[in-house]
Structure 1
């Protein structure tokens, strides 16, 4: 009896295994990089194939990027740097507003470093006078500080001046990245918060369907992943390109309220005024800047080729 039951059990097991293997063969195979991370520690973003060239295989978008790069390069000011200690940033900017009558159409605040004093800057500075109408405000912060920014932006006084429009995300390639946030990660949460967020706010009224002379929507994606080209300083060049591709304005200011040190230098960018305590060159002069803006104009002129290639909002049927 023992041998017969053992043989029967073996036959049933064989049939079951055949059934399982048959069912498995009909399954579609997919890449599960989340499961791969659990076993190997290799983050999913390392397996994205087109991060070096996001428009690879899209000739129209490639042409659009080339045309916009050329057009932006034709209408830029000298790269200006303004070296200011963090506690002197608000007085310096107030002096520009009140005495130099300076305003900017694009203002970016923050970079990809944890030790930033963004909240005091946003609450103490007269941003509504620094940013023109219409104008665009980009605020970069780690995932840990997003809730703090949300409380400020949901405030009624802030909401009347700035309308939150878009959220951008930057993801480091791995934990060895110079942009990997870590100073505030003391909560030991199950899910690691390694991404950086950017709130893009608009002053005044801007409509993507009618204001193509001011904004070019949908040229870049909302998500960007670190590449080898983005590791050459404290601020990845892609952060600047997103703002340049989105707004046609030429008056651009970047405020970095943090020490970045010599290991992550703050580099100058053509067409931008960059304020930082660690900027490489301190050469900003308001009179010279206003003179250069007067020569190139406040906006990049429209280009028929760019207009024909760039994605647009569908026309609503009446």
Structure 2
């Protein structure tokens, strides 16, 4: 909706000389913008949120041919060096014991761990404080934690306590926005029915263990390849978590050992689908085929990180090289 903004000066002029001076001063000022898009006012009248009018939500690199080529190359490269899809169907109260068995019995670690999905019935704080995440992630390693805007205080409290603050360093924040209230990813409202604004977005905190530098560790991370804001589009797969959220982790880290923990029941309406290159632990995951010995054997043949490809290195954004002092 376009709003027409009118600009006028109703101050009375004392005399012709003063009026002439005022006109000369106004002629030196830049012209005011008479038109502006006001989707907030449009929402008040139509209940259509502003994100429905983002033109490039389907293809966020539209108009940038080099980035489009980079995305295609990265997608093929990741798929070529991915393990087969693994699912581990575990009840929520058995997740801690299962992960401890992987760690101490099978010596299994991952370089990328993602926790949470886009469903509200997950108790993030109580479960995360009991999961052996620090022993499950290698150093350096990456942790992605998803939560609704209503649970952002829980995530803040978690990463500020002494145990987590010493082991994980918060690096980036990602945001996912559902397109409207009919979306399967639209979070339920909290108990405050009198709130003026509805918190509909999802937040993801990406944390790092160990030391990683973007300027020198290109074999571990590819910074700035993907966007940190994603809006739901029509081509998203019907799943508990959109496929693009996996791609964010795949584009950022070159690691091949990836684990996704979903600490919630999602039901049949939002199924938990498996994905090549990932081990997905959930009480409702469709496939239950994980075997730690076979997984480690496949990783040993595949390698723990993607091999370097010259075409990707040329196209991907890099930190500027610093000049040496002479």
Q: Is the counterpart of residue 165 in structure 1 residue 188 in structure 2?
A: no
Deviations 1:168-192 (A, max 9, x none): 0000000110000015353431111
Q: Is the counterpart of residue 258 in structure 1 residue 252 in structure 2?
A: no
Out of 120, 129, 132, which is 1:123 matched to? 129
Q: Which residue does the alignment assign to 1:86?
A: 92
Runs of 5+ unmatched residues, structure 1? 1-24
Q: Is the counterpart of residue 226 in structure 1 residue 232 in structure 2?
A: yes
Out of 147, 152, 170, which is 2:153 matched to? 147
> By how many angstroms is 1:117 displaced?
2.4
CA distance in 2, matches of 1:215, 1:187: 43
Q: Is the counterpart of residue 286 in structure 1 residue 292 in structure 2?
A: yes
Q: 1:211 to 1:26 in 2, by over 3 A?
A: closer
CA distance in 2, matches of 1:86, 1:187: 30
Runs of 5+ unmatched residues, structure 2? 1-30
Q: Which residue does the alignment assign to 2:78?
A: 72
Q: Is the counterpart of residue 188 in structure 1 residue 187 in structure 2?
A: no
TM-score scaled by length of structure 1: 0.90
Deviations 1:23-60 (A, max 9, x none): xx974312111111111111000000010111111000
Contact 2:258 2:279 in 1 (8 A): yes
Q: Which residue does the alignment assign to 2:242?
A: 236
Q: Which residue does the alignment assign to 2:22?
A: none
Out of 199, 203, 211, which is 2:209 matched to? 203
CA distance in 2, matches of 1:313, 1:187: 46
> By how many angstroms is 1:120 displaced?
2.0
Contact 2:259 2:278 in 1 (8 A): yes
Out of 165, 174, 177, which is 2:180 matched to? 174
Secondary structure of the residue that 1:229 maps to in structure 2?
A: coil
Deviations 1:105-154 (A, max 9, x none): 00000000000122122111221110000000000000011111101101
Q: Which residue does the alignment assign to 2:38?
A: 32
The aligned length equals: 294
Q: Which residue does the alignment assign to 1:47?
A: 53
Contact 1:171 1:196 in 2 (8 A): yes
> By how many angstroms is 1:159 displaced?
1.1
CA distance in 2, matches of 1:103, 1:216: 21
Contact 2:115 2:144 in 1 (8 A): yes
Out of 291, 307, 313, which is 1:301 matched to? 307
CA distance in 2, matches of 1:247, 1:85: 29
CA distance in 2, matches of 1:128, 1:66: 33
Contact 1:114 1:184 in 2 (8 A): no
Deviations 1:62-87 (A, max 9, x none): 00001001100110101000000000
CA distance in 2, matches of 1:49, 1:243: 24
